[in-house]
Structure 1
Amino acid sequence: MAKILNLARLDRKLKRLPTVARERIRLGMEEAADEIVAMMKSLVPKDSGTLRDSIGWTWGKAPKGSMVMATAKGSLGADLTLTIYAGNSDAYYARWVEFGTAGHTNAGKFAGSDNPGTRAQPFFYVSWRANKRAAKRIVRKASRDAAKKVAAG
């Protein structure tokens, strides 16, 4: 039968790992979200700035009326749910800018007139796709750094 040396020390380190990992991963997720949001803001059409100012990220749920790009849920608990969003009650048209609108015949005040629609001006999903690998890399590095920190201390 083999005897494991320093088992109590190993146990203490393993118990510390989730706390250290949560802190490091949270910082990594914030860094990645900042990069994605910065790219979105640089790509969005800047007519009045309302849509640009509505782009952001938050821990937990996005503001009501937002278009949610991604919700990253960590396996270490609900406090690691990060949501990147665009739009709010003032910039309700985020989806229309991202995807464009189809031509249609108007109703209401301008009944019978033709609306040609608008072309898509993507800023939202292209930013995510461009940064997805980097975001994953940042979070993986944070996980490794946390394990190294616990192992060293």
Structure 2
Amino acid sequence: MTEVQGLNKWERQVRRIPGSAKQTLRDTQGKNAERLANSIRAFVPRGKTNKLFKSINWRRGPMPGGAGATGAFRIRQKILTDRQLVLMDDDLLVTVYEGNDDAYYAKFVEHGTKASVARDLKQTRAERARGASVRVKRAHHATKAKPHFYPVIRAYKDKIRRSNAAAANRGIKKAVTG
């Protein structure tokens, strides 16, 4: 049987790739997520209470339960090349989100609202039979959209992907060489 020279060394190097590459990628993703959250905070409209400003955050893994009134941007490293398939992992999911129970109105600020007219709402048969008072929907003025979440994400998305790819490559090179 023919033996390939250096095969054992190569197999040891390949086994070392996932741990160090993942750690390097995790560190970079954390830095990118913090940078993205700070950029979104810079553009968020300030109110009296700053609840919307305080609700912008990031975390590893999926979005927390009460968050995401506007939405979330998930940073997950996609397959970079065939040799880097080992980097696909739920452990590498980072979510940047906005909105919580206190800042439930985040999507209204981001996308704006449409005006509504005051009108009587239809009564049910039971309400009419009881002689209940007429329910009224209050008027609402339109609010202009003040986009701050998605424009920043669109601006940073490619930069984040390039940074993550470079971090994965650095981690792999570090594992292979040392």
What's the TM-score, normalizing by structure 2?
0.78
- 1:101 maps to a residue whose letter is T
> Percent identity of the aligned residues?
30
CA contact (8 A) 1:72 1:83 kept: yes
Q: Distance in 2 between matches of 1:89 and 1:113?
A: 24
Aligned residue pair count: 152
Give the Å deviation of 1:106: 4.4
CA contact (8 A) 1:32 1:134 kept: no
Match of 2:140 in 1: 115
Match of 1:144 in 2: 169
Match of 2:155 in 1: 130
CA contact (8 A) 1:22 1:76 kept: no
CA contact (8 A) 2:16 2:176 kept: no
Q: Distance in 1 between matches of 2:14 and 2:8?
A: 10
- 1:38 maps to a residue whose letter is N
- 1:73 maps to a residue whose letter is R
Larger Rg: 2
**What does 1:1-153 correspond to in 2, within 5 Å?**
3-47=3-47, 48-67=49-68, 68-74=71-77, 75-106=87-118, 111=136, 114-153=139-178
Unpaired segments of 5 or more residues in structure 1? none
Q: Distance in 2 between matches of 1:23 and 1:121?
A: 37
Aligned CA-pair RMSD:
2.1
Give the Å deviation of 1:142: 0.4
- 1:151 maps to a residue whose letter is V
Cα displacement string for residues 81-128 of structure 1 (whole angstroms, at most 9, x for unaligned residues) = 1111001000001100100011112479x9465322100011110110
Unpaired segments of 5 or more residues in structure 2? 78-86, 122-134
